[in-house]
Amino acid sequence: MSYPFPIPTPGTHTRPFWEGAKLGKLMLPRCQDCNRVHWYPRFLCPVCHSNNLEWVQASGEGRIHTYAVQHLAFGPWAKEAPFVTAYIDLNEGDRMLTVLRGVDPNKPQDIKIGARVRVEFEAANDDMHIPFWRVVED
């Protein structure tokens, strides 16, 4: 069965992320001048505008900043609704938008802001592994 969702095409500024994802590693760009990580990948640091960037392996852990239950979706996601999307506060800094797994979209009251989450990767094909986040039990 083929992967039901659009598969990203790695570009110059995202290839290290996807190479890490294939190995189960969450890679983030970090500015070597101000030492901050940022998400999404860019060719300039969004804080100090330096182009002195490197890729670092992140912990793959964070906390739910906020979330939304998607009751209506389009295209390949339509049959997945309802599902939960969330912004994750990465342990290293900045935020990542994701699909949140391991939660019941019909019980949003059980989803806690600040809950610990961990990244997981799902193979879309032999080369592309897609990240998503799952709540970690305390």
User: How far is the C-alpha of 100 from the C-alpha of 48, rounded, in Å?
Assistant: 31
Nearer to Zn ion, 45 or 99 (CB): 45
Closest CB 47 distance from Zn ion, rounded Å: 4
Closest CB 138 distance from Zn ion, rounded Å: 33
Closest CB 23 distance from Zn ion, rounded Å: 26
Nearer to Zn ion, 34 or 123 (CB): 34
Q: List all residues 6 or more positions away from 69 whose beta carbon is below 8 Å from its beta carbon.
A: 82, 83, 84, 105, 108
- Residue tagged 């802001």 (tokens): 113
Q: List all residues 6 or more positions away from 79 whose beta carbon is below 8 Å from its beta carbon.
A: none
Nearer to Zn ion, 32 or 91 (CB): 32
User: How far is the C-alpha of 130 from the C-alpha of 112, rounded, in Å?
Assistant: 24
Nearer to Zn ion, 47 or 128 (CB): 47
Closest CB 44 distance from Zn ion, rounded Å: 8
Residue ranges binding Zn ion (CB under 5 A): 31, 33-34, 45, 47-48, 50
User: How far is the C-alpha of 77 from the C-alpha of 24, rounded, in Å?
Assistant: 24
